[in-house]
Amino acid sequence: MAGDNFAGRSGTSNFDAIEKNYMGAIFSHCPCGSFIRICGYSREWGINPNRVGFMGFSAGAMVTTGTLLQEDPAARPNFAAPIYGGPFGAMPEIPADLPPVFLAWAQDDFIAGPPAMRFYDALKAAGYKPEVHIFSGGGHGFGMLKNGKSSDHWIEIFYDWLDAEGFTKPLTR
């Protein structure tokens, strides 16, 4: 997953650089079985197994929430970011001991906004405090597009959240 200028303050231009610099990883639209495999090979690949996150957009956000809500905590990422999406249909049970969660969607997203809001409500009802950004505009699929809306800056906000959660800090050896 790459951004035009992921976050100028980070000194990096994409997530690959973050993987190399901070020995962590973010995987987008990665099937759950592959996620477990990535964790199993993390040391061999030079990735800190405590810094593996999962991000998905729209239908990929549904996959992200499925990975996040795994019954086995070892099958969960260390953080998750379902972007403009959430579980569709019936809300699954929210398990104990979830990792940090970052949610973002636009108010004018009539496709994935309602499932994202239901997921947020379910997390809150289960006692979690996810990071939530509901943009006034951007529609469905704002992604990395620059369309003159506040959603244009979600990636910088996400980086700031990763930083606040400690996922961008260099590891001490």
Q: Is residue 105 in a domain? A: yes
Domain count within the chain: 1
Q: Predicted confidence band at 75 (pLDDT cuts at 50, 70, 90)?
A: confident
CATH number assigned to the domain comprising residue 154: 3.40.50.1820
Residue 131: give the domain boundaries. 13-86+97-164
Over residues 14-68, the pLDDT tens digits come to: 333 333 333 344 444 444 455 656 667 777 878 788 888 999 999 999 999 999 9
Question: Is the overall model pTM greater than 0.95, yes or no?
Answer: no
Over residues 25-35, the pLDDT tens digits come to: 444 444 445 56
Within 10 angstroms of residue 39's Cβ, the number of other Cβ atoms is: 19
| Phi, psi dihedral angles at 61 (to 5 degrees) | -70, -35
Over residues 8-18, the pLDDT tens digits come to: 444 433 333 33
DSSP E strand boundaries for the chain: 2-7, 12-14, 25-28, 52-57, 79-83, 102-106, 131-135
pLDDT of 44 reads: 82
Quote the CA–CA distance of 64 and 20 in Å, as a whole number.
Answer: 23
